[in-house]
Amino acid sequence: MARRKYRQETRPIRATSMWRVDQVFLNLSGQRIEVTCSLVNDDGGLRNDMTIAPTRDPREAVEFAARYIAGKGNVYRAYGARVRWTKLLATDDIDLVRDRVLEEAFLDAFEDTLAEVRDRMR
């Protein structure tokens, strides 16, 4: 039998990937809010990071999540990230599907934390 030639991937494998925040999902869980950040990279990769904020206040929860994600070091951007409530809360009396105020709070906390991380690296 003839052996087939192995074709190597033409693109080099990157040791580290830089990620950006695409969407942030909030889910009310008891007295805390679960925050899931959907991250994408330049190669089309998708990753979800979840954290549980120790508060029931949505603004504090997204700020907590922004500090957590920005502190990882390989997430470079959150501009344009959409903050959405999961269906569980969106069907309650508070009908929030996309919250632009929380998007601004997330972006501000993310940028502040990212600036602190970059200052420490210098």
pTM for the predicted model, two decimal places:
0.77
Residue 105 has a CB neighbour count (10 Å cut-off) of 19
Express each pLDDT in 2-12 by its tens digit: 665 544 444 44
Express each pLDDT in 33-83 by its tens digit: 999 999 998 888 888 999 999 988 999 999 999 999 998 878 888 988 999
Which residue, among 3, 55, 54, 52, has the nearest Cα to 25 in the 3D structure? 52
pLDDT at 92 (0 to 100): 53
pLDDT at 9 (0 to 100): 46
Express each pLDDT in 85-118 by its tens digit: 886 554 555 544 567 888 999 999 999 999 998 8
pLDDT at 8 (0 to 100): 46
HSE (side-chain half, CA atoms, 13 Å) at 79: 2
